[in-house]
Structure 1
């Protein structure tokens, strides 16, 4: 009886081992078949891809182009989350934002570069590599405009050193006797830099800074002054529709240096904005899970002039960023199809062809 019992136990043990081996083999087959992403590098992302919306039109436009391709070409759902610079960066760290298509790299705090090195963000390279920002005035302020009957108001204005003598020209209606410099929107890193420059250039005694509530409010203030032929000075950037549409002159500043920029926020020294790289940036967990979308975003590329053209189209046709994205995709098939495989392009074309 004892030998029979031991034989049965031995048979049972062998049977259980074989069952476990077969189960493991079956699991391997399932992993390699139904979920091939585990071995072939395909996507494993199973939630909406959240694009970070900054509050200026070019950022919205580029997001909408990328979203349209991702939704209709790759089959993912997308969503958006609006924020200014600091909350956006934190949102990417916290997995609340997965893609930003227009990150102005040189305007970011130094910690951004450290975080990229630490793997907190994946910098996918340039959307467009050239951009311009600084303080601008309508050219007629310096040169006049004979056709419009405008005499030069600040004929010797060339650099920031000349601004004190023209404070009354750029009169602040809320504080007569001092000039007004329009900064960017609150929450932008560039706005804080522009504010610091007022102190560094010794302009605080002769000028007040003014923060408009939005990009639209900033542009409206300039456009209104331009239509009246009035003086205006403030922070602007290219690409933007207003800089493309109006005749403007940038006020000269000391040449940019790394040493100056390192202490720009101190208000003790200032210099010109650097030429800014405008990059596409992704959340690292999303990047690892959706490599085919990341490949598309690495290929995504535009120029300052192309973006300015779209922004002018938006103004001229009163189009939303979504409408401008569809228009651009319809007009520039040769460009965007070079970013994606043919099967993805077919899906996007089919969506564009739908009424």
Structure 2
């Protein structure tokens, strides 16, 4: 019995040690990775500053939007660098109201999302010898006139709309929107398995000059590099949006949020995160670097920090900035 009791005590101490010290301070800061490139870049920027400037170990926890947000609420994740708040509005507001998570800053708020097509589908591209295939396509509703243009390669009787990956919160929103407009009667909805698969679908079509329609968003290297058109929708109306999704996407603050205990566990890091602010254009610079240099998000983060030393050094005290620059060789 004594041996069993001792084993339980030792196991409990090990679990506590993994979470933090006796004062509730953190040994390691865990960031959410919801599997798209921009969140990976922002995570890497934050990790560079947190590790080299404040001396904490860091890690990331991967998962779907729902799983990572729940991880933040539970405290398994400490920091979420890129919360697309209106894609998970109900859950996000509930967690804010209960105090489980704290919004510390707005990372960027000039982003767009919705159903996109390559602009050459509407206007053609004389240089590439592409004729306009859907010259009257302006709105989401107009897709009803062009299912044959976006033919499903596995079902010639219907068109294909490419959705976000099934683990993303926006996936269900797009399904509801398509069903509300009756487009499901003439289009199949394809949900790729990952961000990479979604990118591959669009990039492959674009490079080949083929028609494509599907969900996308900014900031991404794709929207920075390709000439795409966001299809228009009804002006945003909160009541209509909540009932049917039959409007454009709501304005979407992309925020930095932390678990409720984090400000006390790592107050100096929390203060840094309160200052964290970028933009769609700034984020896309790192994403284009990933494409053009075949770089990792971590490499793009260092490139971005070199390029924008004047920006991020304002987020932290001078001694922290100097430590980070020395470690990264900036």
Aligned partner of 1:177 in structure 2 is: 157
Aligned partner of 1:71 in structure 2 is: 51
Confirm or deny: 8 A CA contact 2:96 2:103 kept in the other structure: yes
Q: For residue 125 of structure 1, report the CA deviation from its aligned partner.
A: 2.0
Q: For residue 164 of structure 1, report the CA deviation from its aligned partner.
A: 1.5
Q: What SS does the aligned partner of 2:183 have?
A: coil
How many Å separate the matches in 2 of 1:290 and 1:226? Answer: 45
Counterparts of residues 297-308 of structure 1 (less than 5 Å): 297-308=273-284
Aligned partner of 1:334 in structure 2 is: 310
How many Å separate the matches in 2 of 1:227 and 1:330? Answer: 31
Confirm or deny: 8 A CA contact 1:51 1:79 kept in the other structure: yes
Unaligned runs of 5+ in 1: 1-42
How many Å separate the matches in 2 of 1:111 and 1:350? Answer: 41
Counterparts of residues 1-355 of structure 1 (less than 5 Å): 45-264=25-244, 270-353=246-329
Confirm or deny: 8 A CA contact 1:330 1:352 kept in the other structure: no
Larger radius of gyration: 1
Q: What's the RMSD between the two structures over aligned residues?
A: 1.3
Q: For residue 136 of structure 1, report the CA deviation from its aligned partner.
A: 0.6
Superimposed CA distance per residue, residues 62-91 of structure 1 (whole angstroms, 9 cap, x where no aligned partner): 001001100000011111100111111211
How many Å separate the matches in 2 of 1:126 and 1:258? Answer: 21
Runs (4 or more) in structure 1 with deviation over 2 Å come to none
Q: For residue 326 of structure 1, report the CA deviation from its aligned partner.
A: 1.2
How many Å separate the matches in 1 of 2:308 and 2:89? Answer: 35
Superimposed CA distance per residue, residues 117-164 of structure 1 (whole angstroms, 9 cap, x where no aligned partner): 211101112011211001011111111111111111011111122212
Superimposed CA distance per residue, residues 276-306 of structure 1 (whole angstroms, 9 cap, x where no aligned partner): 1110000111222211111100101101001
Confirm or deny: 8 A CA contact 2:26 2:266 kept in the other structure: no
Confirm or deny: 8 A CA contact 2:285 2:304 kept in the other structure: no
Q: What SS does the aligned partner of 2:161 have?
A: strand
Q: For residue 44 of structure 1, report the CA deviation from its aligned partner.
A: 5.7
How many Å separate the matches in 1 of 2:285 and 2:325? Answer: 22
Structure with the higher strand share, 1 or 2: 2
Q: What SS does the aligned partner of 1:252 have?
A: coil
**Residues paired across the two proteins, number:** 308
Q: For residue 344 of structure 1, report the CA deviation from its aligned partner.
A: 0.7
How many Å separate the matches in 2 of 1:89 and 1:46? Answer: 20
How many Å separate the matches in 1 of 2:141 and 2:158? Answer: 16
Given the two structures, how large is their TM-score scaled by the length of structure 1?
Answer: 0.84
Confirm or deny: 8 A CA contact 2:105 2:277 kept in the other structure: no
Superimposed CA distance per residue, residues 333-355 of structure 1 (whole angstroms, 9 cap, x where no aligned partner): 1111100001111210110129x
Given the two structures, how large is their TM-score scaled by the length of structure 2?
Answer: 0.91
Aligned partner of 1:12 in structure 2 is: none
Q: For residue 111 of structure 1, report the CA deviation from its aligned partner.
A: 2.9
Q: What SS does the aligned partner of 1:135 have?
A: strand
Q: What SS does the aligned partner of 1:73 have?
A: helix
Q: What SS does the aligned partner of 2:215 have?
A: strand
**Structure 1 residues 178 and 51: alpha-carbon distance in aligned structure 2, compared to 1, 3 A threshold:** same
Superimposed CA distance per residue, residues 147-194 of structure 1 (whole angstroms, 9 cap, x where no aligned partner): 111111011111122212210000001111200000001111111101
How many Å separate the matches in 2 of 1:109 and 1:83? Answer: 19
**Structure 1 residues 210 and 343: alpha-carbon distance in aligned structure 2, compared to 1, 3 A threshold:** same
